[in-house]
Every structure is written in structure tokens, then in C-alpha cells.
A and B are shown apart, each in its own frame.
Chain A
Amino acid sequence: MSVDDLSIGHLITGELFAEAKRQLTICNACRYCEGYCPVWPSLTTLTDISDGDVTHLSNLCHDCQDCFTACMYTAPHEFALNPPEIFSAVRVATYRDYSWPPRPRWARGIPGIALLTAAVIIVVLALAVLLRSDTVTGPHAAASPYHLLPYWALFSVVSAPVAWGAVVAVIAACRYWRDVHGPLGALARPLTWLAALRDGARLRYMRGGGADCTYPGDEPSGSRRSYHLWLVGGLALCFAATVAAGAEQDFAGWQPPYPFWSAPPLLGTLGGLAMIAGCAGLLAGKRASVPGRSAPAMRRADYLLLSSLLALAVTGLLTLVLRSTPVFLAILVIHLGTVITCFAVAPYSKFMHVIYRLLSIYKYRLDA
């Protein structure tokens, strides 16, 4: 996801933090927004705002945009405050700067993603021809993913990017924490984690202190939070479907295809539909949203993440719906390509907002 161009208006990357500090210094002299979310009470504890503070506050922001509509200092006022926009630009910088190793140049942007997906599909097809020449092209090919690849091979091609993504994400999380807070030891507070996870899962701070978001328009609306919860719930159901399938195979000894009314297809279907509903709602909101309250780079990152998740859900559902037709294996290959690419790219994408935001909620709870 292209996170290289952080420009908002006249600002270039190097000026981003200076501009954020200019705005936050004015915010800190006003403090009218403190009822909306934890960003503002956290700001009041600072007398000198560091780069780490800017990063922390930006990632703590849930982008409800209430502070923008409440602000008497937005342009054309000469103070020209726009916290949601500057925070979004800083978040894009966070997604870019904290992941290590950095993403290779060729894998960046939409062309990079297309290239990666194509490469993954070619590898999967090559493996299929090598390992399953008997079933992959046969006329009876249907319904079981093991007609495409043997279990160990399928497991490996999916696990490798998952492991890779997890390692990069953990490194990124540690680097982030060192910058915004300090010692990693401060992360060992189970009760604080419990509270932070609750806040995060319920999107507690996307409610504008009870006023709801002024998003996508200037009318208060809870729609974004609802769609986001649908999306996360859908993802969780899809994850549950995978776990259920693993359990049925490894413990019960049942092999796919599973009957439609059993746990894995059912959970997967519900999850996929919820994801599609969530993604569609969020994409529609993004299209309708007032421009200028989010950095262009963040809008691109949003669109890319949402379209990727939509592609995951749609290809996943198609794999299920079309499993007794001749195109099953073809759609399975496409779904696998999407899954593997998404996992590999996730730690460099807006997906990482989950990690950074949770860490910042945890920090807010820790400092409170």
C-alpha cells in the first residue's frame, strides 16, 4: 500500500511532525475537545511535545472527526487546525517507518501487490502441477483443497507468510513501543491489557464521548463504528471457521469437503457475509466522506485495505459456493493467492493500525 507520499497540501514528510506540534500546541492551549476521546486528556499532560508523543496521539486517534467539526480554529481561520488530517498523515508514516525489515521497493503500491499476487499464484500452480498432477487437472477435481495441493504443502504456503507477517509485526510493535513509551517491561500488565483490549474491541473511542462520529458527513452518525464492528466480527468468524476446520481434520479425523451445515462452512459463510457488509459500508462511507479531513495517503491506504479484505471475503465465499463446479480449483488458487499476499503485506499496510492503536490505548490506560 503506497505510503510513500505523505504530502498534505504544502507539507512534505520532514515537516509533518513540526506541523503536528504546531497544531497540538494550540490544541493544548484550548482543550475544549477533552470530552471526545483520550487523545485530548493525554495531550494536557504534556508540556513539551516530542515526536514520540505525536506518534502516540496520532495512533490513539480513532478518526471520529468530532474535534474537527467542534474546532473554531479550522481554515479559513489563520490557525488552520486539522487534527484528523495531520494525525492520519502521521499514522501513515507510522505504518511505513516502524515495520522492519522495510518493504522492498518492487513490492510497494498497487503494482507491487498485483505483482506479488501473480507470483504467489504462479508458485501455487507450479507446486500443484509438481505435486498433484493426478488430481489437479482430472475431470473429477472438486470440493477438496487437497486435490490442489497435499496437506503439508498447503499448510506450508499459508503458514510461511503468516509467520513472516507475525515476526515483522512483533518487531514493529517493539520499535513503536520504545519510541512512544520506553521499556518493553512496561508491557507486562495483564489487567491493563484486558482493559485496553476491551476498549479496542468495542471501539469505545470511536464514539466521540457519546456524540458519535461526524463522519462521513457533518451529521453525527454511528454508522462507521457499526460497519467496523461488522468487519471485525466477520474476520473473527472466518478465523473461527479455519480453526474449526483444523479441529475437525486433526482431532475428529474428518476430511474436507465438510457438509454445508457443519461448523467450518457455516462460520466461514457468516463471516464472509459480515466482512462484505462491513467493507461495503466502510467503502461507501469513505467515498461519501468530506475530503480534506484525511491525508490522501491515508485514503489510499484505507481503500487498499478495504478492497483487499473485500477480495478475501468474496473469493473465500466463491470457493465455498462453487466447490462442486469445475471452476472450484481455479477460484481456490485465486483465493489462496489473495490470502497469502494479504498476510505477507499486512505488516506494511494499514492493517497495522490494529497493533499500534492497541498499544496506544494500552499506554493511555497505563499512564492514566
Chain B
Amino acid sequence: MPADQVPDGLPASWDVVIIGGGNAALVSALSARDAGASVLMLERAPVAFRGGNSRHTRNVRCVHDEGDDYNTGAYGYEEMWADLGGVGTGTNDESLAKFTLDDSRSVPAWMTAHGAAWQKPLTGTLHLGRTNRFFLGGGKALLNSYYRTAERSGVRVVYDAFVERLDFDDDRCSALTVVSGGEKRVIRPKAVVCASGGFEANIEWLARYWGEAARNYHIRGPVYNDGAVLAQLLQAGAGTAGEERGFHAIAVDARSPKFDGGIATRLDNIPFGIVVNQHSQRFYDEGEDIWPKRYAIWGTNIAKQPGQIAYGLWDSKVTGLFLPPMYGAYRAATITDLAGQLGLDPAVLADTVAKYNAGVPPDAVRKFDPTRLDGVATAGGTPPKSNWAQPLDRPPYFAVPMRPGITFTYMGVRIDDCARVQRADGGRFENVFAAGEIMSGNILSTGYLAGFGMTIGTVWGRVAGREAGRYVGR
């Protein structure tokens, strides 16, 4: 691929400079280019890791009034609005959220026109096939298509390009100091779109809110998402949007890499067994709700446990009912042997399992139904398990160690309905726009809907690119 590692001969002046290399950055770049601007993209990562968190995405959630080849049925505005209100504390800026949903209707066609290929709903995507549209091959395949379209249309992309400093002249960003290929250079943009993501890979920053616990978090996306540009904007006086402690986190395998483990390290065993902390105690209802809805609560659950580690246990009755862990599972003929392998106290773990089993109803195995909320709940005992409460009694027994896996952070910069970055003092930055994760806190304060990050990135990438193009074309 024609990629510059060292931006030799790179002009210093550009109409629109996009900081970032993921979905929102590419959509901004394509939109600004469509508006006639000369566009430079500065991607922090090398080619192999380009694309930020979008590398690990798989689908986009848009309002559609009827089904088609790629969505099994209609998903109307009202339904999506209700879904959005049902997660976390709901929307942050209601008018921006409403615009996001409204504008999402035209997102799939725009994506197709800019190179996206889609996948028909298959077994693995069926449960979201009505609401979400799946990229053929996933997020990286989508990004590859976008990068090809961008390069064909004349967008200049520089990889390994770290934006060290944004210089402001009153409310205008006048210059960017870029470090690339060991060289420092100054780029003079007429407008800037910051689509550089959140700060989830910046452990020090997370530690400001979470203390030492943050050192035990795994970061599911690339190591490059350190929020350097967000920090620059905040320092320059940008207003914030979104909860500063807010993040999306799930349970990932404790054996997975510290960064960039993506989708493969997630664990789906929780509703099928029990979860204990390092003191071998259960601490949260494993059968609270259907798994897709509770998927994202377990990252925080584990983050709150001592040592930020937990252990998921199940028995032979349920193997094969969920996605096998990519690192395999610990396996033993007895709970005490399993405790030995995990480094837990065997007597305490055996006692915890015995207490849990004692609370399980006698007809649990017969009534167990993983396809719905089966109401098979423990009696007494704390915490309860409200559904799928089968006993752990058929050896061999299995276990996996789990850690919080942070997907993204919520706190970003505040924007207006033109995606223009707002100042904390009530003013605004004239030529600085934001799209994607860096502004998702305007839409969502906490909680998450699968595929909605890509919706925000695409909707606001289009706005930011278009508005930046309009600004320089005045």
C-alpha cells in the first residue's frame, strides 16, 4: 500500500488536517474531501496497527424502517431511542443524541458508496441481525476499504505521525507539531478534525480516577489510544462532556495481552456458572439478565474486586454452550484441585460452591434454558443467581481467570451541532472539530449499545468533515 513512513516532501499547509486513523477519522477525511478540501490524515499508529479501536469493531447500529438483505427487520427511531435511554444513565445532550439517530438512517448507504461491504446475518450475528448491520470481515476490513477510497480520492495519509502539540491563536488552531519518522515538523491547517479517540490506553490517566487498580486493567484496543490530543484540547480550554470515570469494560481472559486483545479475549462463561474473587467468594448475580445486556457490566464488577481479578467456574454440563475461551480453561476432577490450579484456597472455594449448590432448586437441571431468562434462581444465599442457576456438580470442572478489559473511555470534548469543539468558558474553537470517541460523551454519559460507537463515529465524522470543509471554503 502506498504509505509514507517518513513524510518527505509533505506540504506544510492543508485545508483540513484529520488527527486520527480510525472510523471517525476516515469518515471525516472522506467527507472533507467530498466537500473539496485538501486533506491530510495524521495516524499515530504504524500501518499494521492503523485504525484505533475501529480495528476491533464489527457492526453499526442505524435506524431503518424496513429490513433488507443485511438487516432482518425494521428498527425504528422510537425503538432505538428507547434502547438508548435504557442503557446507563441515558443520553447526555438530548438534541445531539436525537440528531445522531435521525442522521443514522443515511449512514449505511453512505458507507456503501465509500467502499463498505456487508455481511448477511449468519449464526454468529443473528441475535443482532435486526438492529445492527455487519461489516463483511469486520472493522479492519471496513477500514481497509475506506483507506483505499481515501487514497484514491487524494487524501494524504501519514502513519506513525504523533501530534505532539496544537498551537492556538486565540480561538483558532494555527499549527500542529508533528513527530514522524524521528523528525519534527510543523503543519499549518486551516481546519482540524480531532478524531483521535479516548484515553483508555493511558494507564496513568486512568489511575487518576481509579488509583492503583488501573494497573491491573487490560486495554482491548491499541496502545496508541493514550488521549494525547484530548489532553492538548483540554489544556487549551476545551469543555468536557461525559463522565471522567466512565468507561466501557467487559470481562477478558487474565492471560490475554495487556493491549489490543480485541474481541478474541472476551469471556462468555459467566451466566453458565459462578464467578468468585481471589478470596473465593461470589460477589455479583451471574444470572441477572440475558448476556448481551449484562456483557458490559462485568468489567466494572471485576475492577471493583481486590486485585482486580476474578475466576469464572463451570462444570461439564454446560461446556459447548458458549464460546470456548481462546486460552483454554483450567480443568480438574474436583473443586479443590481446581482451586489449587488457580491459587485459591481449596477449602473456601469448596465451601462457596457447596453453599451455592445448596441454594439451587432441585429441578434446576430440568428447567435450565439458556435461550431465555429461565427463572431458575438460587434460594437464599448472597448474592443470588437469578437465572440459569444449575448446580456445579458434574466433573470435570473448569475455570478461567478474568480481568477487566477496557474498551473505551467516555470523557471527551464538548461540541455543538456542527461538531465544533466548545470552550469550557462558553466560547468555541473556530476551526477545531471533533468526531468519534473523543466526543462520544456528548451523546452517551455511561452505558453502551453494541454498534453505536460506529454510528457516532460515522454520523459525527460526516458532520465534522463537512463543516471543516465548509469552514475552509468560506
Task: Report A's interface with B, CB cutoff 8 A.
Answer: 25-26, 28-36, 41, 44, 47, 66-67, 69-79, 208-211, 218-219
Contact = CB atoms under 8 A, between A and B. Distances in A.
B320 A47 contact: yes
A35 B137 contact: yes
Contact of B264 (A29, A36, A219): A29
Given A36-B136, A71-B140, A209-B136, A25 B124 contact: no
Nearest to A76: B48
A41 B123 contact: yes
Contacts of A25: 324, 326, 328
A76 B326 CA distance: 19
Contacts of B58: 32
Interface in B247-261: 257, 260
B373 interface: no
Nearest to A30: B264
Contacts of B134: 35
A73 B136 contact: no
Contact of A69 (B124, B144, B266, B319): B144
Interface SS, A side: helix
30 contacts: A25-B326, A26-B264, A26-B326, A28-B324, A29-B266, A29-B325, A29-B326, A32-B263, A33-B137, A35-B119, A35-B122, A41-B122, A41-B123, A44-B123, A47-B324, A66-B137, A67-B137, A70-B140, A72-B55, A72-B138, A72-B139, A72-B140, A72-B260, A73-B262, A75-B48, A77-B48, A78-B257, A79-B264, A218-B1, A218-B144
Interface string B62-103: 000000000000000000000000000000000000000000
Contact of B148 (A76, A79, A219): A219
Contact of B136 (A72, A75, A211, A218): A211
Nearest to B267: A29
A34 B320 contact: no
A208 to B, nearest CB: 8
B117 A70 contact: no
A253 B325 CA distance: 69
A29 to B, nearest CB: 4
Nearest to A49: B324
Given A67-B137, A79-B257, 4 more contacts: A29-B265, A44-B123, A73-B262, A218-B1
B342 interface: no
Given A32-B58, A32-B263, A34-B122, A211 B137 contact: yes
B122 A210 contact: no
Interface residues of B, number: 36
A76 B324 CA distance: 25
Nearest to B328: A25
A77 B260 contact: yes
B120 interface: yes
A211 B145 CA distance: 10
Interface string B99-133: 00000000000000000010110111100000000
Contacts of A66: 137, 141
The interface centre, meaning the residue of B119, B139, B265 with most chain A CB atoms within 10 A of its CB, is B119
Interface in B200-253: none
Nearest to B122: A34
Nearest to B262: A72
B119 A209 contact: yes
B324 A44 contact: no
Contacts of A30: 262-264
Interface string B252-289: 00000100101111100000000000000000000000
The interface centre, meaning the residue of A34, A35, A69, A219 with most chain B CB atoms within 10 A of its CB, is A35
B124 A44 contact: yes
Contacts of B148: 219
Contacts of A35: 119-120, 122, 134, 136-137
A228 B69 CA distance: 30
B190 interface: no
A44 B138 CA distance: 16
A30 B144 CA distance: 18
Contacts of A78: 257
B12 interface: no
Nearest to A79: B264
B319 A70 contact: no
The interface centre, meaning the residue of A29, A33, A218 with most chain B CB atoms within 10 A of its CB, is A29
A33 B136 CA distance: 7
A34 B324 contact: no
Contacts of A76: 48-49
Nearest to B55: A72
B56 A72 contact: yes
A28 B260 contact: no
A80 B49 CA distance: 13
B333 interface: no
B323 interface: yes
A33 B139 CA distance: 11
A32 B137 contact: yes
Contacts of A77: 48-49, 260
The interface centre, meaning the residue of A36, A73, A75, A208 with most chain B CB atoms within 10 A of its CB, is A73
A345 B140 CA distance: 42
The interface centre, meaning the residue of B138, B141, B148 with most chain A CB atoms within 10 A of its CB, is B141
Nearest to A48: B324
A33 B123 CA distance: 12
A67 B144 CA distance: 12
Contacts of B144: 69-70, 218
Nearest to A217: B1
B137 A28 contact: no
A153 B125 CA distance: 62
B121 to A, nearest CB: 10
A219 B147 CA distance: 11
Contact of A29 (B119, B120, B320, B324): B324
A47 B139 CA distance: 25
Nearest to A209: B136
A210 B112 CA distance: 13
A78 B255 CA distance: 13
A50 B262 CA distance: 26
A30 B324 CA distance: 10
Nearest to B51: A72
A19 to B, nearest CB: 15
B138 A70 contact: yes
7 cross-chain pairs, A with B, having the tightest CB-CB distances, nearest first: A32-B138, A70-B137, A35-B119, A70-B141, A29-B326, A29-B264, A72-B55
Contacts of A28: 323-324, 326
Given A69-B141, A73-B264, A211-B136, A31 B326 contact: no
Interface in B318-343: 319-320, 323-326, 328
The interface centre, meaning the residue of B1, B134, B264 with most chain A CB atoms within 10 A of its CB, is B264
